[in-house]
């Protein structure tokens, strides 16, 4: 039973692949929602500000906030496992961030087989 529970947790992990938080200077400022493949290795996410302050929310949604000079101060954290990803963005426009490097990793061979069966069985 423990093995099956582990595989269900892995399945949940891969379903939640697109859940990421953005931190700037150690403060959680936004949530990335939706991940859509736009080119090999590059995904487009909607940026959802987390602040209740309207001026802070507006600041996050302007292109200057996503200037490459701020990359060293910006980190991306998994919303499921809490680990930090080494990621970088290529562009930001109209509330969408094109980014690369938000990965949880690949399951091991046997796990991949079990996960594919769980998906087929409707879990």
Q: Does residue 73 have a pLDDT over 90?
A: yes
CA angle 36, 88, 99 (to 5 degrees): 10
Portion of the chain with pLDDT greater than 90, in percent: 41
Residue pLDDT, tens place only, 28-69: 999 998 878 888 888 899 999 999 999 999 999 999 999 999
For residues 79-105, average pLDDT = 82
Question: How much is the average pLDDT of 91-104?
Answer: 86
Helix (H, G, I), strand (E, B) or coil at 2: helix
pTM: 0.70
Tens digits of residue pLDDT in 83-94 = 788 888 889 999
- Alpha-carbon distance 24 to 56, whole Å? 12
* Mean pLDDT of the 68-75 span: 93
Tokens 């507006």 belong to which residue?
A: 58
Average pLDDT, the chain: 82
Number of neighbours of residue 38 by Cβ within 10 angstroms: 14
């Amino acid at each position: 039973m423990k093995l099956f529970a582990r595989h269900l947790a892995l399945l949940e992990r891969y379903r939640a692949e697109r859940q990421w938080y953005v931190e700037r200077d150690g403060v959680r400022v936004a949530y990335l929602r939706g991940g859509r493949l736009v080119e090999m290795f590059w995904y487009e996410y909607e940026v959802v500000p987390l602040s209740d302050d309207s001026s802070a929310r507006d600041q996050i949604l302007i292109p200057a906030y996503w200037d490459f000079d701020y990359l060293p101060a910006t980190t991306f954290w998994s919303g499921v496992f809490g680990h930090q990803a080494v990621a970088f963005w290529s562009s930001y426009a109209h509330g969408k961030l094109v980014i690369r490097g938000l990965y949880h990793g690949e399951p091991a061979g046997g796990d991949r087989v079990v996960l594919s069966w769980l998906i087929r069985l409707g879990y």
